Every structure is written in structure tokens, then in C-alpha cells.
């Protein structure tokens, strides 16, 4: 079966510094795939190339068998890629609801019916819909960032370290919601995550990056202590 996302020989440099080297990756439909690796190995850079925020030097990115590499970021959002950036990046001065409306327009969609689904998943957002984003707690802001990405009704949801700085019960809740999106909404999820318990509990496949390269990958049950010691623990 064709994977939903397929990346071939992707190279990317920040000026002289090569940050991605021959990256190859496949994300099967209706799966949760996790990208891991120490700080600075290129995880965020990879996601920014997939979402179109950076332009690769060479290589190809396909979504559902169609080449995406030439499309700008808004074109990729309209083709079904939703993005939750590292550090959440919600609009602090806008209300929760206004943040969601911005997500909606990013996907080229005008229909606010999807807000009901988002509020079902994250009741706290409904309770706080008139509050300014910047006044939410870190965990609530993360839920808002995910909600905003869901407003585009994506096929592929990409998240960059959603558990960073968040307390365990909210982490667990986010994991359960991702599972629900895959099981009930046919969504596919690519997630950068360093929190090993989360990866083991919620992901189906993993990739490990080191210095801009994919160095390991497989089913999550084959993520051994040896790999963790070699590539992940500090």
C-alpha cells in the first residue's frame, strides 16, 4: 500500500550548514509515527520541510502519492497537512475562539461546524473560548495549538514535541486524543517526541535521527534499550 507520506533523499541546508542528509521516511495511513533524537539533530527542520516552511535543496515529498515538494506552505495545508509547531505558537492576544478561526482559514475551510468536534475533544477550550490564548496554562495552550491544527481538517497531523513542559495527566490526555483521531477519524500522525514513555505507549513506528540523518527505524516494539542508550539518552 502507498504510504500517506513518503520522503525520498531529502537534503536541506541553513546556508553552509547541512541540517538534513538524505532523509528517507514513510508514514503509513492511519498510523502514529514518531521521530526521535537528541537536541539539534534536525527534527524540527524535517517537519518544517514537510510543511513547506523551508524549501529542501533536493529530494521529494509525496502526500498520498502526489508530489508536494513544489507547493508552498498554504498549498500543503490545503492538501491536508496540519501542523502543531514546537513551543505551540498560539496567538497570545487573540481569544481561544479567534485562534481556532485562524486555523480554519489556513485550511481554506469556512465551516465552523468543526469547532463542535474540537470542543468535544478539548472541553476546556469551550469553557475558555472567550479568554485570551496567552492567559491559558501551558497544557491548555498545547490543546489549543492542536485544536487550531484540527480546524484545517487535516489528513496528516504533524506535531513537534507536544509533551514539552506539560504535566503527565495532560500528556496522557493528548496521547488518547491522538489515538482517537487515528481510530475514529482515519487520521495519520507524525510526531516529534523525546518522551520515551509516550512513544512506547502511543506510537506504532519510530525513526531516530542523528546529525541530520535517519539512523534507525522500525516498529515501536523493536525500540530497544540499546538504541535508546546510543541515540537518545543524554
Residues binding ligand ATP (CB under 6 A)? 14, 17, 19, 37, 39-45, 86
Residue nearer to Mg ion on the CB measure, 100 or 190: 190
Pick what 182 binds: Mg ion, ligand ATP, none; C-beta below 5 to 8 Å, kind-dependent.
none
* By the rule CB under 5 A, 44 interacts with Mg ion: yes
The 3-class SS string of 195-224 reads CHHHHHHHCCEEEEEECCEEEEEEEHHHCC
Contacts of 140 (CB under 8 A, 6+ apart): 124, 125, 128
- Closest CB to Mg ion: residue number: 44
Kindly identify the residues of this chain, within the stretch 86-115, that bind Mg ion according to CB under 5 A. Answer: 86
Which of residues 91 and 231 has its CB atom nearest to ligand ATP in the complex? 231
Could you say which of Mg ion, ligand ATP, none residue 42 binds, taking C-beta under 5 to 8 angstroms by partner kind? ligand ATP
C-alpha grid cell for residue 104?
480554519
Helices 114-121 and 96-106: angle between axes, nearest 10 degrees: 130
φ/ψ of 70, rounded to 5, equals: -85, -10
Determine the longest span between alpha carbons in the chain, in angstroms: 49
Q: Which does 19 bind (CB under 5 to 8 A by kind): Mg ion, ligand ATP, none?
A: ligand ATP
Looking at the Cβ atoms of 38 and 78, the one nearer to ligand ATP is 38
**Interface with Mg ion includes 45 (CB under 5 A)?**
no
Q: Is 2 helix (H, G, I), strand (E, B) or coil?
A: coil
**Would you tell me which residues interact with Mg ion (CB under 5 A)?**
43-44, 86
Amino acid at each position: 500500500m502507498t504510504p500517506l507520506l513518503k520522503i525520498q533523499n531529502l537534503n536541506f541546508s541553513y546556508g553552509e550548514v547541512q541540517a538534513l542528509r538524505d532523509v528517507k521516511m514513510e508514514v503509513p495511513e492511519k498510523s502514529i509515527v514518531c521521530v526521535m533524537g537528541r537536541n539539534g539533530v534536525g527534527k524540527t527542520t524535517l517537519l518544517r520541510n514537510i510543511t513547506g516552511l523551508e524549501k529542501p535543496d533536493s529530494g521529494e515529498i509525496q502526500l498520498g502519492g502526489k508530489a508536494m515538494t513544489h507547493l508552498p506552505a498554504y498549498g500543503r495545508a490545503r492538501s491536508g497537512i496540519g501542523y502543531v509547531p514546537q513551543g505551540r505558537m498560539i496567538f497570545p492576544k487573540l481569544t481561544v475562539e479567534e485562534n481556532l478561526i485562524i486555523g480554519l482559514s489556513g485550511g481554506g475551510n469556512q465551516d465552523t461546524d468543526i469547532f463542535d468536534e474540537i470542543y468535544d475533544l478539548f472541553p476546556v477550550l469551550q469553557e475558555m473560548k472567550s479568554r485570551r490564548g496567552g492567559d491559558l496554562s501551558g497544557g491548555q495552550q498545547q490543546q489549543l495549538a492542536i485544536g487550531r491544527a484540527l480546524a484545517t481538517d487535516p489528513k496528516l497531523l504533524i506535531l513537534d514535541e507536544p509533551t514539552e513542559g506539560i504535566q503527565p495527566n495532560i500528556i496522557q490526555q493528548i496521547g488518547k486524543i491522538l489515538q482517537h483521531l487515528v481510530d475514529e477519524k482515519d487520521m495519520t500522525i507524525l510526531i516529534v517526541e523525546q518522551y520515551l514513555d509516550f512513544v512506547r505507549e502511543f506510537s506504532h513506528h519510530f525513526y531516530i535521527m542523528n546529525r541530520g540523518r535517519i539512523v534507525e527505524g522500525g516498529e515501536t516494539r523493536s525500540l530497544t534499550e540499546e538504541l535508546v542508550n546510543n541515540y537518545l539518552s543524554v
